[in-house]
Structure 1
Amino acid sequence: MSTSVTSAVEPPELSTEDVARLTERARFVRTETVRLIGIAKTGHYASTFSCAEIFAALYYSVLNLREGEPDWPGRDRLHLGKGHAAVGLYPLLADWGFFDPALLDSYTRLGNPLGDHPDMTQVPGVDFSSGSLGHALSTSLGAALAGRCTGQPYTVFALLGDGELHEGQIWEAAFSAAHHRVDNLIAIVDRNRYSLDGPVDDVIGLEPLADKWRACNWDVREVDGHDVAVVTRLLHELKARPAGCGPAVVIAHTVKGKGVEFMESENGWHLGWLDTEDEHDVYAELAGGLK
């Protein structure tokens, strides 16, 4: 059972048991993703696998949440820019008691509120309805400014795909957030280097990506997005920064399809479905842990 996570003044030290639990929760994201896509018969395995450790760090250490209270005004927010990874988010929201876990068993079926992309009007715990890419940093900025205006000390996280950075609206929001020194806004870029159209930098080059964010006056950090302990400590550190320091962005270097060898090497798994034999093999590979 999940418990409430409180904001930290200083980044916490993670015990061996803490890291093991976070690692297990990342595996939970991946295995539940396989299970739910098996119900839907199509879905985004690889895009979800690349951010499994980020999800685990956020929902089991970093975010300030109250179990069973998805609308608590003081909660931290997550705006999921890469909404096609919602299949990995839903099991976490159910684990927090935000909705009946039985809803997962009919994922995407007629009448079920859990769609391939999240709808904040239908799914408790979802803070942003995403699907069309490029809007999440703008909405995150608005939510962060609202917290400032209302005196609520929450932090807003925006989880963005690197292909999403091709959208001009992202950079308009980046300029604005820095101008207003919105320090309760933290963006996380899932830098898995692939989009639906192919390698991100072949479509439109992003590098030097860190320098671009620095030029927008953001506090920029880079991290191995699959090292759950390092990701967790860094997000706590950024969340504990003093007021007035402005927005921060984490460029999380990840592998699309992480945890399943043939998905890591084949970009076609951006969207797909496993047959029974392959699904069995994937479960077995995930049970063995990350390479």
Structure 2
Amino acid sequence: MVTTQRQKPVFRFAPSPNGPLHLGHALSAFLNQDMAAGGRLLLRIEDIDLTRCTPEFEAGIYADLEWLGISWEKPVRRQSDHFAEYHAALHGLIKRGLVYPSFLTRGQVRARVSASEAGGSPWPRDPDGSPHYPADDRDRSEGERGRMFASGLKHAWRLDMTRALQVAGHALYWSETGDGKTGEIAADPSVWGDVVLSRSDAPSSYHLSVVIDDALQCVTHVVRGLDLFHATSVHRLLQVLLDLPQPIYHHHRLVTDASGRKLSKSNGDTGLAALRGKGLSAADIRHLVGL
């Protein structure tokens, strides 16, 4: 009789090397390692932002994780090594008419939003508070787009959310085991509007690269912060459109400062390297993040 061995669960910790890791990252790394006990833990370097990500910050990630006692399988997947895979997925969506080139600059979009709101018409915004991209830009003719391409105008590629939902053809859900809502969660990608999948200064967006990476790395469990809870709606839609498997999601609580503000690299919160320099131990860090 032939027996099959049950696949071990696969977890991944996926920081971006655009600043020093802080306590919020430590919580996520600890949870991934703890929950992956008996399974596999991968490390992925999410460095698609070529302007902000640096080798120095990447080296800092390895040093901080080793100090915390986090161990991971090698080799590490670095997103900047896989732009061709993201481009292939994007090209497939373009051929199916699910993605369109968008030419409006951030300044032009802000002007449109300001004019609308000044006139008393509220502008739709996504869960992060950013205004939706003007939907009429998707209606340009092929001739007009061709002339804009030929003129050398910079552009991004955006998901046509209306068309994408029509093609998906059914309600979307994901399995959630985290610190907020749990169970089968109804996904509503429409609240994000026409999200960017690629732009001139970043060949792939977070949304596109993360679902492709998770599928290619056979990730079964995604453990990440609650700040990405709503983004999972977009990820579920892309998984359906690209015929990718869906992992189980666990969105954990966020580590905040004394004022209740989420820790952020950009706001200069105390990093793990600085805490290590003050003499704290990995056990101290576990205590500080409530584990």
Tell me whether the two structures share a fold, i.e. TM-score over 0.5. no
TM-score by length of 1: 0.29
**Structure with greater strand percent:** 2
* TM-score (norm. length: structure 2): 0.29
Structure with the higher fraction of residues in helix conformation: 1
Larger Rg: 2
